[in-house]
């Protein structure tokens, strides 16, 4: 899973013109002109998603421009810059009635964290920026994600989904979500693999953590560890962030 050391140099992508009018229609103009200005830019959703390298993220990235009082501003221009070969569509546009702009994101082809920079300008022309991060999973990490969805998330993810009812609330000792880097970054690869292989009881932990040594191969368990490292927040060893240029 060891991600390649990715250089700080980043490639800002200039995309073909594909801008949206405030009502969301494509207008085909080279550059949208702002009709209003805000004072703040906030993330409404879509950050820290994990998906296979080169794929489009399930959820769009949604940002909102607010005025100084925190009310949404319609018609403000937001531009996105992404690192690496990440593609945002559209790469800029005007906020809608709800003050929001929603863009889809296709990840680059290297595994790692991709930084995305959203920017708008206030009345005085000063740039207001917001950083988002997305996680591109390599082959092994993605295998780990599939195994986690199948075997682990019903206990390790407190959220229920359409396909799966979470068992988290029924557990006496609460396991950590795999994104919980604050805790899991301090656990060694060896211990993560041992707890998964032999179960909680074998490592003086809750017996509600089953043993998977009989179900999963060593390769599977290594993939799970690689996945846990890839999705950790704060990042495991803070390496591999691909920065967007200012």
d(CA 200, CA 210): 7
The distance of closest approach from Cβ of residue 91 to ligand HEC in the complex, given in angstroms and rounded to an integer, is 38
The distance of closest approach from Cβ of residue 205 to ligand HEC in the complex, given in angstroms and rounded to an integer, is 3
Nearest to 77 by CA among 99, 98, 60: 99
User: Which of positions 66-85 make contact with ligand HEC (CB under 6 A)?
Assistant: none
Determine if 175 is a binding residue for ligand HEC (CB under 6 A): yes
Sorted by sequence, the CB contacts under 8 Å of residue 140 that are 6+ apart come out as 1, 222, 223, 226
User: Which of positions 182-241 make contact with ligand HEC (CB under 6 A)?
Assistant: 192, 195-196, 200, 205-206, 208-210, 212, 224
**Which region, left, alpha or beta, applies to residue 127 given φ > 0 means left and ψ of -120 to 50 means alpha?**
beta
The distance of closest approach from Cβ of residue 224 to ligand HEC in the complex, given in angstroms and rounded to an integer, is 4
How many chain residues bind ligand HEC (CB under 6 A)?
A: 21
Print the binding letters for residues 113-152 with ligand HEC: x by CB under 6 A, - otherwise: --------------------------------------xx
CB 43 within 8 A of CB 130: yes
Q: At what angle do helices 139-147 and 218-231 cross, to 10 degrees?
A: 100
d(CA 105, CA 23): 21
**Other beta carbons less than 10 A from residue 125's beta carbon:** 7
Considering the complex, state which of residue 62 and residue 171 has its C-beta at the smaller distance from ligand HEC.
Answer: 171
Contacts with ligand HEC, residue ranges (CB under 6 A): 151-152, 154-156, 167, 171, 173, 175-176, 192, 195-196, 200, 205-206, 208-210, 212, 224
């Amino acid at each position: 899973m060891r991600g390649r050391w990715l250089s700080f140099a980043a490639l800002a992508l200039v995309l073909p013109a594909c801008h949206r009018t405030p009502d969301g229609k494509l207008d085909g103009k080279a550059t949208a002109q702002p009709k209003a200005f805000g004072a703040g830019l906030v993330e409404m959703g879509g950050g820290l998603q994990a998906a296979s390298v080169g794929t489009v993220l399930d959820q769009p990235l949604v940002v909102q421009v607010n005025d100084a009082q925190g009310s949404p501003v319609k018609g403000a221009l937001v531009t996105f810059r992404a690192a690496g070969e990440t593609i945002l569509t559209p790469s800029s546009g005007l906020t809608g009635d709800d003050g929001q702009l929603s863009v889809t994101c296709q990840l680059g082809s290297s595994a790692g964290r991709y930084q995305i920079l959203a920017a708008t300008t206030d009345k005085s022309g000063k740039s207001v920026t917001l950083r988002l991060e997305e996680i591109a999973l390599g082959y092994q990490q993605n295998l780990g994600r599939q195994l986690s969805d199948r075997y682990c998330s019903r206990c390790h993810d407190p959220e229920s989904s359409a396909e799966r009812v979470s068992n988290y609330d029924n557990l006496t000792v609460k396991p950590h979500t795999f994104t919980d880097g604050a805790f899991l970054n301090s656990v060694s690869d060896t211990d993560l693999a041992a707890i998964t292989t032999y179960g909680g009881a074998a490592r003086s932990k809750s017996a509600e953590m089953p043993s998977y040594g009989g179900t999963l191969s060593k390769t599977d368990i290594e993939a799970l560890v690689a996945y846990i490292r890839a999705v950790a927040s704060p990042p495991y060893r803070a390496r591999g962030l691909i920065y967007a240029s200012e």
